[in-house]
């Protein structure tokens, strides 16, 4: 079926996407919490900023990442000086690009699930002796969890399909940054690459379909209202 | 045990002001809908902050704006039965009952789970999910959850207003037993005079 190189591409794609959502989840959760619950004055602006990667051309996002994380960039320069790390042309850079692109989708899903949790239940937990953190962990989090997982899967699917920001930011390096979409693009440029394209495209569609179905199932569970345990 | 409450709070155009100084076992806040009765309970429970005033129950000060004292809800040992009950939808009846029980310091617990279930007549409901309960059953579970958290006093917000007459009598009987057998002081909110007579409450009018 797939050649060893093609399996390697699938493996790299899964690794990049998994690391991308793992990187994004804490930030996405924090942002979703602020947007769902706080009365921050600049909330509209924050909301717009979070959603920017959804509407800005991905190539622009990639270029901005390049400015920030390049050797001369403020973050890239610091990483290099402090730890001797560079993300340029590395798979971790591809994960970073995917993370940025997945952020808006994850924030949206988590925010909706947090907004669906009635704060009056937390108030009830407080009167029963729970501090704010325990009320959050025992009431809010379990009730929001299906939505959080749906956001995670959605972000994972988005990361698998990430192309524009990745190729701009970390280029198309086989074995390092060449994820599925980039490999398909590269194969398209080669004469006789059609069969490779077809196999990789098939895998892409299959993975995306699985992720979307999983996300939908989870979202429906969270939207059903009362949960049984 | 005594209630010593004196507070004011502005809500938009209106000002909620209430003074309760009572040794009675059962104090009723009585007044029309929208008078701010629930807000007063929320302030006693620590869920809403009064602008000024003082709240003391049984000599323990829970809030004092002059002294800058404001205990968080979890340190007020108050058993609050909300009008909308607020049973946790993702936990079974037994797990709802256990929520406050497990958080209560051992010396504050005065009932075991089985005892409370027996007292309230909900022993057969323990494995059920909250959304499968009838109004009267859910009301009993909510009362049980509050009792098991080892409260020093109870706040009951219109506990029978949504029930039919037979269930209403049952729950009112139960509240009378809590007052007498458990000797827990109660603040009771209602807009129905008949309940006040039935429970022999000391009445504080609001609004």
CA-based max dimension of chain A: 70
Of A124, A128, A225, the CB nearest to B103: A128
Q: How confident is the model at residue A223 (pLDDT cuts 50, 70, 90)?
A: low
Residues of B in contact with A124 (CB under 8 A): 80, 82, 86, 88
Distance CA(B197)–CA(B53), nearest Å, equals 30
Of B80, B104, B129, the CB nearest to A228: B129
Q: B131 with B89: CB under 8 angstroms?
A: yes
Residues in CB range of B194: below 8 A, 6 or more apart? none
What's the gap in Å between the CA of A125 and the closest CA on chain B?
8
pTM: 0.84
Number of independent structural domains in chain B: 1
Domain boundaries, chain A: 4-223
Q: Is the pLDDT of residue A219 over 80?
A: no
The reported pLDDT for the residue numbered A212 is 84
**B174 domain residue, yes or no:** yes
- Which value does ipTM take for this structure? 0.93
Residue in B175, B107, B189 with CA at minimum distance from that of residue B146: B175
CA-based max dimension of chain B: 49
What's the gap in Å between the CA of A142 and the closest CA on chain B?
8
The reported pLDDT for the residue numbered A21 is 96
Give pLDDT tens digits along chain B (207 positions): 689 999 999 988 888 999 999 998 899 999 888 888 999 999 999 999 999 999 999 999 999 999 999 999 999 999 999 999 999 999 999 999 999 999 999 999 989 999 999 999 999 999 999 999 999 999 999 999 999 999 999 999 999 988 898 889 999 999 999 998 888 999 999 988 888 888 888 999 887
Residues in CB range of A201: below 8 A, 6 or more apart? A184
* Burial zone of B59 (CB within 10 Å; 0-12 exposed, 13-18 middle, 19+ buried): exposed
Percent of residues, chain A, with pLDDT higher than 90 = 74
The reported pLDDT for the residue numbered B12 is 82
Average pLDDT over residues A119-135: 96
Least confident interval from A129-133, A184-188, A210-214, B109-113: A210-214
* Burial zone of A193 (CB within 10 Å; 0-12 exposed, 13-18 middle, 19+ buried): middle
CATH of the domain at B150: 3.40.50.300
B107, two tokens: 């010396």
Residues in CB range of B121: below 8 A, 6 or more apart? B140
The reported pLDDT for the residue numbered A226 is 33
β-bridge mates for residue B20, sequence order: B5
- Interface of A to B at Cβ within 8 Å reads 118, 120-121, 123-132, 134, 138-139, 142-143, 225-229
Distance CA(B202)–CA(B30), nearest Å, equals 10
Distance CA(B16)–CA(B6), nearest Å, equals 11
Number of neighbours of residue B108 by Cβ within 10 angstroms: 14
Q: Is the pLDDT of residue A38 over 80?
A: yes
Angle formed at CA B120 by CA B118 and CA B125, multiple of 5 degrees: 75
Q: Are residues B47 and A127, on separate chains, in Cβ contact within 8 Å?
A: yes
Residue-level length of chain A: 229
Question: What is the span of the domain harbouring residue B159?
Answer: 24-47+73-205
Q: How confident is the model at residue A108 (pLDDT cuts 50, 70, 90)?
A: very high
CA-to-CA dists, residue B161 to B34, B175, B201, angstroms: 15, 14, 17
Average pLDDT, chain A: 91
What's the gap in Å between the CA of B126 and the closest CA on chain A?
13
**B62 domain residue, yes or no:** no
Q: How confident is the model at residue A213 (pLDDT cuts 50, 70, 90)?
A: confident
**B126 domain residue, yes or no:** yes
The reported pLDDT for the residue numbered A225 is 38
The reported pLDDT for the residue numbered B34 is 81
Fold classification of A4-223 is MetI-like fold (1.10.3720)
Residues of A in contact with B89 (CB under 8 A): 121, 143, 225-227
Q: Is the pLDDT of residue A158 over 50?
A: yes
Residues of A in contact with B129 (CB under 8 A): 226, 228-229
The reported pLDDT for the residue numbered A229 is 26
Distance CA(A124)–CA(B155), nearest Å, equals 12
User: What is the b/e burial string over A123-150, where b = at least 16 CB atoms within 10 angstroms of the residue's CB?
Assistant: bbbbbbbbeeeebbebbbeebbbbbbbb
- Nearest C-alpha in A relative to B47: A123
The reported pLDDT for the residue numbered B151 is 96
β-bridge mates for residue B57, sequence order: B3, B60
**B5 domain residue, yes or no:** no
Distance CA(A141)–CA(A29), nearest Å, equals 11
CA-to-CA dists, residue A114 to A31, A107, A148, B38, angstroms: 11, 10, 9, 25
Q: Is the pLDDT of residue A227 over 70?
A: no
Percent of residues, chain A, with pLDDT higher than 70 = 97
């Amino acid at each position: 079926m797939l050649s060893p190189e093609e399996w390697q591409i699938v493996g790299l794609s899964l690794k990049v996407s998994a690391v991308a959502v793992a990187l994004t989840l804490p930030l996405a959760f924090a942002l979703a919490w602020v947007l769902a619950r706080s009365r921050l004055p600049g909330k509209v602006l924050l909301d717009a900023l979070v959603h920017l990667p959804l509407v800005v051309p991905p190539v622009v996002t990639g270029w901005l990442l390049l400015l920030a994380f390049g050797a001369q960039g403020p973050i890239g320069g610091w990483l290099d000086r402090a730890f001797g790390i560079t993300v340029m042309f590395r798979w971790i850079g591809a994960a970073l690009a995917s993370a940025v692109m997945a952020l808006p989708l994850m924030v949206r899903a988590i925010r909706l699930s947090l907004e669906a949790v009635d704060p009056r239940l937390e108030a009830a937990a407080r009167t029963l002796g729970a501090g704010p953190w325990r009320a959050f962990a025992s009431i809010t989090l379990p009730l929001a969890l299906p939505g959080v997982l749906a956001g995670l899967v959605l972000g994972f699917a988005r990361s698998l399909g990430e192309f524009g920001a990745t190729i701009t930011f970390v280029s198309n390096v086989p074995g390092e940054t060449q994820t599925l979409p980039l490999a398909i693009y590269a194969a398209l440029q080669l004469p006789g690459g059609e069969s490779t394209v077809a196999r990789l495209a098939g895998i892409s569609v299959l993975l995306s379909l699985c992720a979307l179905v999983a996300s939908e199932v989870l979202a429906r569970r969270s939207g059903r209202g009362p949960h049984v345990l | 045990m005594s209630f010593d409450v004196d507070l004011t709070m502005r809500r938009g155009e209106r000002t909620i002001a209430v003074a309760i100084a009572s040794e009675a076992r059962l104090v009723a806040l009585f007044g029309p809908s929208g008078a701010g009765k629930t807000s007063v309970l929320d302030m006693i429970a620590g869920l809403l902050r009064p602008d000024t005033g003082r709240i003391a129950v049984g000599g323990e000060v829970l809030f004092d704006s002059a002294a800058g004292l404001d205990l968080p809800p979890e340190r007020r040992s108050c058993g609050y039965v909300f009008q909308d009950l607020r049973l946790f939808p993702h936990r079974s009846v037994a797990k709802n009952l256990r929520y406050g029980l497990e958080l209560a310091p051992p010396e504050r617990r005065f009932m075991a789970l089985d005892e409370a279930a027996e007292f309230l007549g909900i022993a057969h409901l323990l494995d059920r999910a909250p959304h499968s309960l009838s109004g009267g059953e859910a009301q009993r579970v909510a009362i049980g959850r509050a009792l098991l958290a080892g409260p020093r006093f109870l706040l009951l917000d219109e506990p029978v207003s949504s029930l039919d007459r037979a269930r209403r009598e049952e729950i009112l009987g139960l509240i009378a037993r809590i007052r007498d057998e458990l000797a827990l002081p109660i603040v009771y909110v209602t807009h129905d005079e008949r309940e006040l007579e039935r429970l022999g409450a000391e009445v504080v009018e609001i609004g």
